[in-house]
């Protein structure tokens, strides 16, 4: 049974960088795409980006300039860094495994559906 | 990006009744690449349907999905107490993937 657990600071200051980690058990990072998704009252569910064990990443154009993702194979973890935080980044952040992804006509990987999800971690950005 | 609009915002029904949830896309969703999730308070979303009509593992057969193009539907044939929750649709036919705003299914 695959389980994911997010961890990180619950409170961060505006203009700083958020760092989150997702620890995966029951499956190896290798061979799957892993995504970060956030949920806020104002914007609902928003896909942040994915990482593949090869190091390939892609992120939502709305966040691309502020997002960095990485992984630690030895710890079976993926990580998310989001810089230049504002109050609009206050949300519950989830990590999730992707399934059903595919390559489009130009060879770009397209994310599929998400299953399972971690329990989520609430991040509040304070001024 | 594709905008998904879910309706109604809230559905008030009694256990045993049929629930019909709608998800409409701002443009056609290629290959019916649409998923549905259930979310209960304080929990993460749980996959219910993928590829518009395929039930996820462990999902009872009272849940069914249908639709194509821009109009998709999630139907719960007979509501059980554990089905009262928020439901979201998600499209993955176009990048970036996007989610609908959700429909709350509440006990009448």
Q: What is the predicted pLDDT for the residue at A41?
A: 84
What is the Cα–Cα distance from A26 to A2, expressed in whole angstroms? Answer: 4
Tens digits of per-residue pLDDT, A70-118? 999 999 999 999 999 999 999 999 999 999 999 988 888 999 999 999 9
User: Which chain A positions have a beta carbon within 8 Å of B95's beta carbon?
Assistant: 58, 108, 110-111
| Burial status of residue B58 (CB atoms within 10 A of its CB: 0-12, 13-18, 19 or more) | exposed
Q: Are the CB atoms for A115 and A44 separated by under 8 Å? A: no
Q: Which residues contact A43 (CB under 8 A, 6 or more apart)?
A: A88, A91
Instruction: Measure CB to CB from residue B96 to each of A61, A99, A118 and give the nearest one.
Output: A61
What is the Cα–Cα distance from A11 to B82, expressed in whole angstroms? Answer: 33
- Tell me which residue has tokens 């952040």: A93
Instruction: Measure CB to CB from residue A60 to each of B33, B90, B96 and give the nearest one.
Output: B96
Per-residue pLDDT of chain B (108 residues; tens, 9 = 90+): 999 999 999 999 999 999 999 999 999 998 899 999 999 999 999 999 999 999 999 999 999 999 999 999 999 999 999 999 999 999 999 999 999 999 999 999
Q: A31 pLDDT band (50/70/90 cuts)? A: confident
Mean pLDDT, chain A, rounded, equals 95
CB pairs under 8 A between A and B: 62
Q: Is the pLDDT of residue A2 over 90?
A: yes
Q: Which residues contact A33 (CB under 8 A, 6 or more apart)?
A: A50, A51, A52, A97, A98, A101, A109, A111
Q: What is the predicted pLDDT for the residue at B22?
A: 98
Scanning every residue of chain B, which has its alpha carbon at the shortest distance from the alpha carbon of A39? B44
Q: Which residues contact A67 (CB under 8 A, 6 or more apart)?
A: A48, A49, A59, A60, A80, A81, A82
Nearest to B61 by CA among B49, B69, B46, B72: B49
A47–B33 CB contact, under 8 Å: no
What is the CB neighbour count within 10 angstroms for residue B40?
13
Does residue A44 sit in helix, strand or coil?
A: strand
Q: Which two tokens stand for residue A36?
A: 């970060």
């Amino acid at each position: 049974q695959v389980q994911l657990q997010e961890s990180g600071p619950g409170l961060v200051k505006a203009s700083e960088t958020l760092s989150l980690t997702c620890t995966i058990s029951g499956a190896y990072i290798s061979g799957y795409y892993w995504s970060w998704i956030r949920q806020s009252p104002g914007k609902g569910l928003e896909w942040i980006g994915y990482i593949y064990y090869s190091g390939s990443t892609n992120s939502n154009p709305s966040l691309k300039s502020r997002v960095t993702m990485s992984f630690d194979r030895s710890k079976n973890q993926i990580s998310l860094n989001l810089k230049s935080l504002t109050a609009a980044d206050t949300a519950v952040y989830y990590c999730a495994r992707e399934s059903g992804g595919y390559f489009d006509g130009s060879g770009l990987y397209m994310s599929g559906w998400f299953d399972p999800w971690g329990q989520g971690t609430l991040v509040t950005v304070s001024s | 990006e594709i905008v998904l609009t879910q309706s109604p915002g809230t559905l008030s029904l009694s256990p045993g009744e049929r629930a019909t949830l709608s998800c409409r896309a701002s443009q056609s969703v290629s290959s019916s690449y649409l998923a549905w999730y259930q979310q209960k308070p304080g929990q993460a979303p749980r996959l219910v349907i993928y590829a518009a009509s395929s039930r996820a593992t462990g999902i009872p057969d009272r849940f069914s999905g249908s639709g194509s193009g821009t109009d998709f539907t999630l139907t719960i044939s007979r509501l059980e107490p554990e089905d009262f929750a928020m439901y979201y649709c998600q499209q993955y036919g176009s990048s970036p993937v996007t989610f609908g705003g959700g429909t709350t299914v509440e006990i009448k």
